[in-house]
Structure 1
Amino acid sequence: MKFSLASTLLAAVAAVSAAPSKQLDDRSTPAELTFRFHAAAAQYDLSFPADGQFHETGNTELNVNLIDTPGINAMSQCEFKTNGAMALAPTLDTSGNPQVAVGPPQPIIAVKCWGSCVPIYGDCFINGVPQGACCSGYCAANKCRPFQVSVTY
């Protein structure tokens, strides 16, 4: 009796641990990102996976000064390749969406991003374990909160 009960429990534990969890499946596929690059009056979009590989922009003539970066914390999870020295600064558009300011304005040759981020109102901590950086906002009370808080009078 002891042997069959122990065997049954062992088989159940093995079956549960062998089955891949949905969370692991979701994380195995890189997030698809779309950035909008602003250069004075011109702009262009680039869609690419957050797979840690450089993706060429194909626009080496436009002097980019601002990049819309929804869906990821670009300041900590992306790298931008240019021909010259540049400074990057985080900023927000008028709706509170994340952007990266580029100074001095110059062509962005390629971009790479990695990892994933937690969307607004997603759990940034579960049982005290960090789940990732907030895409656009900050972590408070275990949830990612938006930077912009609108006030109606």
Structure 2
Amino acid sequence: MRFTLLPLVTILGIASSSPLGPEMSAKRDFVYEQLTFTFYGGPASYELSFPADGSTYPTNNALSVSLIDPGTFSALWGCNFYYDLPAGTAENPVLTSIGNGNEIAVGPPATISYVACEPTASNGTCLPVYAQCE
């Protein structure tokens, strides 16, 4: 039996190479849909812009809201709204779809303190939290 000694540089080169080929960089072209909601309370209103990434975002506004306009996003089914209710209030306000089907009536009016919307891609790509695209 005959053994061949390889130079140390060759051995180090073999050890540092990946058996799967060159290392691939992560693809970072995924973008969450950017949402802009307008909250109305009487003649006053404010806007809140945030990504639809599943995180909870504060509104930082004490306006008692009676209408939410989420643009084209189906917020009634795709978002959670958290309320700052007065002491002694037993139930959350009722949310009802009105207008163009995306607008939401809030009754009785209430201060919305946080909003969280389901992860939604901006261009129909697969969401990173799911194992497969449908």
Paired residues of 1:87 and 1:103 also in contact (CA < 8 A): yes
Structure-2 residue corresponding to 1:14: none
Structure-2 residue corresponding to 1:37: 39
Residue correspondences, number: 99
Deviation sequence 1:99-119 (CA, Å, 0-9, x none): 111111011101011133899
Give the Cα–Cα distance (whole angstroms) in 2 for the partners of residues 69 and 97 of structure 1.
10
Structure 1 segments of 4 or more deviating over 2 A? 115-119
Q: Structure 2 unaligned runs (5+)?
A: 1-23, 86-91, 125-132
- Cα distance, 1:83 vs structure 2: 2.4
Structure that is richer in helix per residue: 1
Map 1:4-153 → 2, pairs under 5 A: 25=29, 28-60=30-62, 62-84=63-85, 85-92=92-99, 96=100, 98-116=102-120
Paired residues of 1:73 and 1:117 also in contact (CA < 8 A): no
- Cα distance, 1:81 vs structure 2: 0.5
Give the structure with higher Rg (CA). Answer: 2
Q: Structure 1 unaligned runs (5+)?
A: 1-17, 123-129, 132-153
The higher-RCO structure (CA 8 Å, 6+ apart) is: 2
How large is the RMSD of aligned CA atoms in angstroms? 2.9
What TM-score do the two structures reach when normalised by structure 1? 0.54
Paired residues of 2:69 and 2:102 also in contact (CA < 8 A): yes
Give the Cα–Cα distance (whole angstroms) in 1 for the partners of residues 41 and 112 of structure 2.
10
Identity %: 35
Structure-1 residue corresponding to 2:5: none
